[in-house]
Structure 1
Amino acid sequence: MSGPKRAGYTLPSPGCAELSPASPTLLSLCPGVGAQVDPGFQLRQPQDKVSVAAGETLTLNCTISGVSPPGPLKWLKGWGSRNVTVYEQTGSFPRVTRAVDGSNTDFTIHIRDVQPEDSGTYYCVKFSKSLSGDGVLQRGSGTEVSVQAKPSAPVVSGPDRRAGPGQSLPFTCTSGGFFPKDISVKWLKDKALITSQPPQINPGQMKFSFDMSSTVTVTLQEGDIRSQLICRVQHPTLEDPLDGTYPLSRALRVSPRVQVVMDPSSPVKVNQTVNFTCYVKRFYPGDVTVTWLENGTELKVQNVSRAVETPQGLFELRSLLEVQATEEKNGSVFTCRVVHDAQDPITSMATLQIVPLSKEEPEDLPQQGYLPLVYSVVGVVCTMLALLVAAILYLIRAKQSNGKSSPSARLHEPEKSSEATTQESDPNNLTYVDLNFERERERKTIRRMVELSQQSEYASIQTSPAPANDDNLTYADLDMVHLSKAPRRPAPRPEEPSSEYASVQIPRK
């Protein structure tokens, strides 16, 4: 931007502004009028473009050769009325230092801790003094500086409230302060790629920086407790991508399954101890409150186990309630109420049914020994009856076979008396035989009547209470009768109302 040279001076180009006498601090960017320039003077600014990462140090090269006329050398950012002085030999510039301090030929500078706002075009300019002030003697071709700012670490945010399996939730990934604008975002669930829309890129809070926002929608599953959502950001300033993670367990809620089990199951007996167990299964997160109610009234229960984590990351616990099955509690409803993650209560219930205590069953009779005792008594009675019938049959057959008495039994005929004579004259032709069992001292005979029809023989045993003074006497009479061929008559009934009667009828061969 120099005009034609004449007599060793560089003439200002048309339209260039001269130094204003009223503002000596403003520099004219036109060559100084009447400035004498050595034909061998050269200013070199070799860098066309420079890219530097934010926070690093920027180096701008500038050298001169030949005879340098009087006047300052400065570094300017931008060209025209809005240029900014970055460095000059006088003044204070905290971030700028010279590469070779005090050199008259090397004016290379270092700018430390550059930021995106430091991006722009920088010029190395040699000024010369003139009567009207400092003017531009020569300037470099300019160096375009690009400050590349790394994006901040991605941050993934989720919904404010948890949701259950099957529900879809939005998740957002944000990153900012990067330059240049080019940036790419990928979403992954664990290692699986998720389809998402292109990110939104907006100007950042600082000049020459940008911010990014990306959103993805994920449908939650029960197995996502150990899953992670990943937002992966790639930018030219990064050697490796940056990842932002979000554990899906922070957004997932798995409601529990509640079941009440009664042991033993209904119906139960009075005063029996009944255990109600409330199983709370497969829930997440692990904060849960369990309450027992009887007919809607809350009970105080201490026996609540701690939640145990399953291999899938879910939780389980159980609560035990012991109840004494009194008659007043018959039909009572016991409810297990579970409140999980501040949601509506989940309930499960069981009804206690009690078998009433019967009048025939003693209240203090042990439940376990009652039935065996009944079975034993019935067995003994049946055995005694069987033995009695066997003894009767045996004696009958013994009588029929040989008519002899055994050492323990004596077969005899009653003495003939007027009563006997009367009996023998009976048209039925009755014959009476007594089988008496005698014990030690005395014996007492009781009359037995047996009637034998034309085809049958009868044997009867009749007993009556023994006299008070006959405590040591036990006996039984077995009367065998042979009847003539007379019409059949029914067997006689016992004579005494307190007697017992048994008969055996054997067909005649």
Structure 2
Amino acid sequence: MPGETLTLSCTVTEGGPLGPVKWLKIWGSGNETIYDQKDPSSRGMRAVNDSSTDFTILIKDIHPKDAGTYYCVKFRKTATGDELYRRGNGTVVLVQARPSNPTLTRPKYRVQPGKKASFTCKTWGFFPSDINVKWYKDKTLIQPQLPNVTPGPSKFTYNMSSTVTVTLQKDDIRSELTCQVGHTTLTAPLTRSYHLRQILRVPPSKVVVQPLGPVGLNETVSFTCYVQGFYPGSVTVTWLENGKEIKTASTPRPIETPEGLFELRSTVVVQAVPEKNISVFTCRAVHEGQDPLSSSATLWVDASGQQGCSSGGTGTRGLWGWGLWGWGLRSPQPALTPLFLQVPISCP
């Protein structure tokens, strides 16, 4: 395991030819000198310094890069230099390395209910390559794609990525996605979890403006807009009067429901003056920068008071009612439209 001390044993026969003893590590097509009698700075250290036959060495604080096949080699001194005399059978060293703590990546943008979202779990720097990955949505095991295990940047380590795709639901605001990694070097699995509310976007289920019946002249009335069932709680509400924005609305902060969604109530106060009769008030809600949702209601001013009347004379009374419009060949169904009638009356 990384951080431990590796012991490599070697014994040579006494009375052999003159020449040094070295330890070499072979990996792939290359080799590396681990211990050299002539180089005190080499990575391997003699376990018994004064012995002429025991060339056991210690390698402290090993890492995955120390994996390979190690050979104890006896060289013979010649006039032209040192030449190979004899070597051991070799010792294969594999350094187990535990996986890194997993990371989890998600889509860049929020996803609506009914749409698919992909999540990827990654870990790296482990050895051997056998690794187990499980995904859970809350406590339910879900099936991911086959994990992708690739060689790491250093020798004898591996990287892994695993991807799962889930179809999000409105009630996933309370759900959690978990990647669980198992490996022979671990006593317990490594996990990384993600709250699905961080990626979920639930548009408002409804935007409703409560309609009003006819109201008296100069009465103060309120139109109330209900924006229901959205997540996250960031929504912008704008009021329009006959298509023109008005600034007098009151919009408190959204309220969280027991299901984890949000709802909001916005109110605009209007005085029922004659000029506002048949004015259309529209509540427009924009959630998370998406297309606006809107609902409208019309202000009906009851102008039934007497107008232009003098004693002993005549005057008029204004009445609101409904009339038929569009009855004919091109419009087989009648349409109702509001009518304002001036009805003559006798003044007292």
User: Under TM normalisation by the shorter chain, which class is it?
Assistant: 0.7 to 0.9
Map of 1:356-375 to 2, 5 A cutoff? Answer: 356-359=303-306
State the match for 2:162 in structure 1. Answer: 214
Cα distance change, pair 62–343 in 1 and its aligned pair in 2 (3 A): same
Q: Which amino acid aligns with 1:315?
A: F
1:96 aligns with 2:44: yes
State the match for 1:167 in structure 2. Answer: 115
Q: Structure 1: which 5+ runs fail to align?
A: 1-52, 363-509
- Report if aligned partners of 1:224, 1:249 keep a CA contact under 8 Å in 2: yes
Residue aligned with 1:166, SS: coil
State the match for 2:203 in structure 1. Answer: 255
State the match for 2:9 in structure 1. Answer: 61
Higher RCO (CA-CA < 8 Å; seq separation 6+): 2
Work out which of the two has the higher radius of gyration on C-alpha atoms and give 1 or 2: 1
State the match for 2:277 in structure 1. Answer: 330
1:184 aligns with 2:138: no
Cα distance change, pair 101–348 in 1 and its aligned pair in 2 (3 A): farther
Equivalents in 1 of 2:52, 2:308: separation in Å?
A: 125
State the match for 1:346 in structure 2. Answer: 293
1:319 aligns with 2:247: no
Correspondence for 1:150 among 83, 92, 98 = 98
Q: CA RMSD in A?
A: 2.5
Correspondence for 2:255 among 308, 329, 354 = 308
Most deviating of 83-92 and 218-227: 83-92
- Report if aligned partners of 2:14, 2:52 keep a CA contact under 8 Å in 1: no
Map of 1:78-93 to 2, 5 A cutoff? Answer: 78=26, 82-93=30-41
State the match for 1:121 in structure 2. Answer: 69
| TM-fit CA distance, 1:59 | 2.6
Equivalents in 2 of 1:212, 1:304: separation in Å?
A: 49
Cα distance change, pair 123–279 in 1 and its aligned pair in 2 (3 A): same
Equivalents in 1 of 2:170, 2:260: separation in Å?
A: 10
Q: Which amino acid aligns with 1:278?
A: C
- Report if aligned partners of 2:34, 2:42 keep a CA contact under 8 Å in 1: no
- Report if aligned partners of 1:58, 1:112 keep a CA contact under 8 Å in 2: yes
TM-score (norm 2): 0.80
- Report if aligned partners of 1:185, 1:198 keep a CA contact under 8 Å in 2: no
Post-superposition Cα deviations, 1:299-355, rounded to whole Å, max 9, x if no partner, equal: 113521012222322122211111111111111111111111110011111111111
Cα distance change, pair 136–298 in 1 and its aligned pair in 2 (3 A): same
Equivalents in 1 of 2:198, 2:269: separation in Å?
A: 37
Q: Which amino acid aligns with 2:126?
A: F
TM-score (norm 1): 0.56
- Report if aligned partners of 2:237, 2:284 keep a CA contact under 8 Å in 1: yes
| TM-fit CA distance, 1:288 | 1.1
Most deviating of 199-208 and 97-106: 97-106
Cα distance change, pair 165–81 in 1 and its aligned pair in 2 (3 A): closer
| TM-fit CA distance, 1:132 | 5.0
Residue aligned with 1:78, SS: strand
Post-superposition Cα deviations, 1:401-453, rounded to whole Å, max 9, x if no partner, equal: xxxxxxxxxxxxxxxxxxxxxxxxxxxxxxxxxxxxxxxxxxxxxxxxxxxxx
Equivalents in 2 of 1:173, 1:143: separation in Å?
A: 36
Q: Structure 2: which 5+ runs fail to align?
A: 310-348
Identity value in percent: 56
- Report if aligned partners of 1:157, 1:246 keep a CA contact under 8 Å in 2: no
Count of residue pairs brought into register by the alignment: 308
Equivalents in 1 of 2:76, 2:108: separation in Å?
A: 67
Equivalents in 1 of 2:259, 2:3: separation in Å?
A: 46
Q: Which amino acid aligns with 1:87?
A: Y
Cα distance change, pair 133–195 in 1 and its aligned pair in 2 (3 A): same
Post-superposition Cα deviations, 1:387-413, rounded to whole Å, max 9, x if no partner, equal: xxxxxxxxxxxxxxxxxxxxxxxxxxx
Cα distance change, pair 317–81 in 1 and its aligned pair in 2 (3 A): closer
Post-superposition Cα deviations, 1:137-177, rounded to whole Å, max 9, x if no partner, equal: 44322110112222222222122221211112222222222
Equivalents in 2 of 1:222, 1:361: separation in Å?
A: 60
